[in-house]
Every structure is written in structure tokens, then in C-alpha cells.
Structure 1
């Protein structure tokens, strides 16, 4: 909105020329989103407390988590609101990619909201049935792909990290691949969200790395120099990624151990889905396996645990899945698990950035 209001004034006052620059707007989108969360955080936490919108803890989980019962949840609403407002304020709203990523953020957030409301009202930690979550996620992801196709923005080729000339074309199989990336990222972040600040920390790192990649991919000369796919107009998504980083930092202020509020499924599903959508647009879907390695490992630990449990008649690989609970039950204090996972996320983020030159 500011972009459209102030750019025409650059002839009258040259200072408004700075709004032409994506880097300037991305930085201030981050600052603005963080300010919204920090300012509204105490009010929102108190509001959720009065509404008795507290977290329901799984009885089969670690016993140390039972004390978290009733901690205000659905903090994802605050994140979504801050990201949406900040993006609309600082981005070029004529860019179709902006509306696509906001579509994923808000629609996946709606799925999570339904899930959270069922948990809170019925006091049932299971929430919305998994099959219905998946159905809605698939439909939303397909609509996302259809819009890309309608605007002739759908590229079925993949960019493989560390390989400059390897671009396999999936053809019609790219459609289920879109669904896999977006729903997979959404559910992986959701599974990681089990400890105070555990999910939002690595997410901030992922959003920052992809903010860099979308900026580079949207710049023709830089994309050609770095041998990454050039996606015309994708640079504008840097504003969205900046807002994600800022809102995430603001939320971490209240979500760090011991957490005053949890993001809930409304937050984890929407943030993960939006990360997958950005990866698809910028043609760095496989990079998500590296940069989002924490989320990948968390999701794999659940799948392996379930598969092994069913095939061996009740035996387990881990003491509990997702894997962060395994380390808790081994005796690691919760803050140690969280910080060590953050450290690994930083390393993976740097590894992802290194693929710009190692190819």
C-alpha cells in the first residue's frame, strides 16, 4: 500500500525513491511485523487467557509437559495478522506472487484454527481428524498450482542443490509434487512445534534464507551469475519473507522458554505451508530438505516410528516421536534440546546458502 501511495511522490520529493528498492521494503516489513507482535502480544495473551483458550497436553507425552496445560494458545493468529498487514503495507500489490503466498498463509491458518478450536472446546488434544486436514491442504495446494498455471508461471523443472546443469522436468507429475512440498512443509513444522520456541527458531532461519533466495532469483543478473533459476517478479516475495522473520522474532519474545503463549496449529500449519509455497515459486523445492532439515528429521522420526511400530508388533525406534521428545526422555532439559536444535538449524541454513556457489 505504501509502495503505491508513495512511489508517485518521488518526483516531488526524491526521498520517496527508496520505496522502489525491495531490500528497503523487506527490512521495514520485518521491523513493522515484529513491532505489531511485540505491541499486541501482552493484550493477545491476556485475551486468550480470559477466553480460556489454553493448550491441551497429550496425556501420553512427557510428564514434564503437564504443567503447560492451559497456557494460552493460537498465537499463530497474531503472527498471521502481523505478516498479512505488514506485507500489504510494504509490498507491490500488483504482484501475483504476493497474493499467492498470502493465500497459503491465511487458508492453511484457517485449517489450523478449526483444529485448535476443536481441541480447546472439546478438550481433545487430537483436534481435527488427520484425513480432513490432508484433504483441505491438498485442495488449497492444488488451487495454488492452478493459479500459477493460469498466469503461465508454472515451471515443472526442478533445481537440484549443488548441481548447476541438473534440472529434471517432472511434467504432469509436478502437480502432486507441489502438493507434497506445501503439505509436507506444513505438517513438518506442525510436528516440530512441541517445545517452547522449538519450531519458530528454525522457521525464522528458513524464512531468512528463502528471503535471500527469492531476492536473488528475482534479479536477472544475479540469478544468471549464480546459476539459479530466474523467476521474474519473485523478488517481491522478499517483503513477505521479511515479514515472516519479523513476526517470528516478535513471537519468539513470548514463546521462548518458559513460553507465555503457543502458536497452535493455526500458526504451525500456516507458517510451514507458506514456506513450502515460497520454495515452489522460487524453484528451490529441494533446497527445503537442507534448510528445513530440522523439520524434515522431525517428520521422518514420526513416520519411521509409526512404520516400525506397526511392522514389529509394538517395538519402537525412539523412546517417543517426534524426535525432540526422545531427547527429553533421555534426560536432556527442554532448553538444551531447543537451543541445540536451533544451532543445527543455523548450520543447515548456512549450508543452504553455500549452495549458491557450490554447484
Structure 2
């Protein structure tokens, strides 16, 4: 990627180093190949790869947020032919919605993909939070869903080794969109939409805060880095900016804080499942 000029600037480092981008290709290939070898999950892998293609396009041409959402809708549409469940599960309740359930599941996966894609930008953050969610899905599920969740968990851990602070590669939207979509798919297949929604609370808060400025926060200013590495929150509202305002932190401290919160939400999800 670096030789091809596909790089991103690590804006939270003082030297603004260039880091290879679009490393999510490794996740797409490893998860897809192992998943196909372990279980009959052709349609799951197909949607996973289609969303990955949207991420590749975004990494190459920098799509607008609205365009990413629209393309994610199209790329996840095949699930309408494979999901047969007509109810949603909340705690111990099964709420029958008829055919509307399919639309709810479709929206759930699209939202999951874009939420994971949005809470991003710091070394190890996106893949780290996703790996925790995959682990919890594996603990709460069984059969093929558990196998797929474990494949995604270990692939994410493998990638995290290279993406942790200081990152030697970025997942890009190729990785974040596809991981987010896979989280949504496994949640639906395992009837875990409520526990997974709990673990996506930080992502949802971030979405709601950024919606207040119509997702144009970057034009208002970015997170700055002081000489000692301490982060200065951006001038627009965001979940990560909120944490930085509570306590000044360096990048690795911020990421560890979010991962700790995600782990706590994972424990809550397990208790409520």
C-alpha cells in the first residue's frame, strides 16, 4: 500500500507520519477464506465482501457520509433473501413484526456498519472495539454463528498487533465498514440484536453528537496534539472529544479508556442476554 501511494497521515502524532492505508483487505481475505472453510456461510461472506468493496471505494476516493450509507444499503440488500425471522428479540421478549422485521434487520446491519466506521481515527480503536464485540457474540452464541464470531475475533486480534499504538497500518474504511456489517449480521443470526446494541452505545452517542453539526466536524477543526503527546479535543461535539474534556489524555490512554468502557458494556450485555 505504501509503494502504491495508498497511505494515511497519522494526524495524532507530532511528526504526522505516513501510514499504509486500506489494511482492511487483510481482514476481508482472512475472515472470508477461513469462514468458507469452516461453515457454509456463502451469503454472509458475500455481503461482508460487498461492504468491503464500498470501503475500498471510500478509501480510494473519499466518499461523503451519505454516499457510504446509500452504498451500504445496496451492498447489504441480499440479506433480504436469507433472513427468515419475523420477530426481534429484546431481553426475553420476542416481538413479532411480520415482514417489517426484515426491514428492521436490514437497517440494523447498515447502521452497525456505519457506526463502527464513524467511531474511528485513533490507533487500535476500531479494530479493538470490534474484537471485544466479536468475543461477546461468540460467548453468547452457538453453532455457525459462534464459529464465525471467533474467526472474526482472532483475525481482528491479529490485525490489532499491527494497528495498535503506534500503528504500522490502518484498517481504513475497508476494514471498519466490513467489520461493522459483520457485527450486525452475526447479531441478527444469533438473535443478539439487543446485547450488541448495548455494546454499540459509544458508537451511537458519537453518531448523535456528530449529527448536531451534520457530520461536518472536520471542517470546524481537528483534534490537536501538544508537545507532550496530550490530545486537545476538537471544537465540535463527539464521544471521544467528550472523554478528552473529562480528562486530558494521550492517544494510547484514550484508546485504552474506550476499550475498557467497551469491555464493561460487553459484561453488561452478557448479564442481560
TM-score class, shorter-chain normalisation, is 0.7 to 0.9
Alpha-carbon shift at residue 305 of structure 1 (Å) = 4.4
- For the structure 1 residues 323 and 92, does the alpha-carbon distance in structure 2 shift closer, same or farther, using more than 3 Å as the test? closer
- For the structure 1 residues 326 and 65, does the alpha-carbon distance in structure 2 shift closer, same or farther, using more than 3 Å as the test? farther
User: Comparing both structures, which one devotes a greater share of its residues to helix?
Assistant: 1
Aligned to 1:257: 165
Q: Partner of 2:96: helix, strand, or coil?
A: coil
1:224-263 correspondence to structure 2 within 5 Å = 235-263=143-171
Q: Deviations over 1:287-319 (max 9, x none)?
A: 222123332222222224439x9xxxxxxxx83
1:343 maps to 2:260: yes
Aligned to 1:50: 3
1:194 maps to 2:121: yes
d(CA) in 2 for partners of 1:249, 1:107: 22
The partner residue of 2:198 within 290, 293, 298 is: 290
Aligned to 2:79: 144
d(CA) in 2 for partners of 1:78, 1:242: 16
The partner residue of 1:76 within 24, 34, 59 is: 24
Alpha-carbon shift at residue 114 of structure 1 (Å) = 0.7
d(CA) in 2 for partners of 1:343, 1:321: 21
1:281 maps to 2:180: no
- For the structure 1 residues 83 and 68, does the alpha-carbon distance in structure 2 shift closer, same or farther, using more than 3 Å as the test? farther
Please identify the structure whose Cα radius of gyration is greater. Answer: 1
Q: Partner of 2:87: helix, strand, or coil?
A: coil
**8 Å contact kept, 1:141–1:178:** no
Alpha-carbon shift at residue 160 of structure 1 (Å) = 0.7
Moved more, 48-57 or 76-85: 48-57
- Scaled by the length of structure 2, the TM-score of the pair is 0.85
Q: Partner of 2:176: helix, strand, or coil?
A: helix
- For the structure 1 residues 289 and 92, does the alpha-carbon distance in structure 2 shift closer, same or farther, using more than 3 Å as the test? closer
1:306 maps to 2:259: no
Segments of structure 2 that go 5 or more residues without pairing to the other structure are 218-233
Q: Deviations over 1:23-47 (max 9, x none)?
A: xxxxxxxxxxxxxxxxxxxxxxxxx
Aligned to 1:320: 236
User: Comparing both structures, which one devotes a greater share of its residues to strand?
Assistant: 2
**8 Å contact kept, 2:52–2:177:** yes
Segments of structure 1 that go 5 or more residues without pairing to the other structure are 1-47, 58-62, 119-126, 149-153, 216-234, 310-317
**8 Å contact kept, 1:328–1:334:** no
- For the structure 1 residues 64 and 141, does the alpha-carbon distance in structure 2 shift closer, same or farther, using more than 3 Å as the test? closer
C-alpha root-mean-square deviation of aligned residues, in Å?
A: 2.2
Aligned to 2:42: 99
- For the structure 1 residues 111 and 128, does the alpha-carbon distance in structure 2 shift closer, same or farther, using more than 3 Å as the test? same
Q: Deviations over 1:36-93 (max 9, x none)?
A: xxxxxxxxxxxx1211210157xxxxx645744521111100111111122223x133
Alpha-carbon shift at residue 286 of structure 1 (Å) = 2.2
Aligned to 2:221: none
d(CA) in 2 for partners of 1:74, 1:272: 15
- Scaled by the length of structure 1, the TM-score of the pair is 0.66
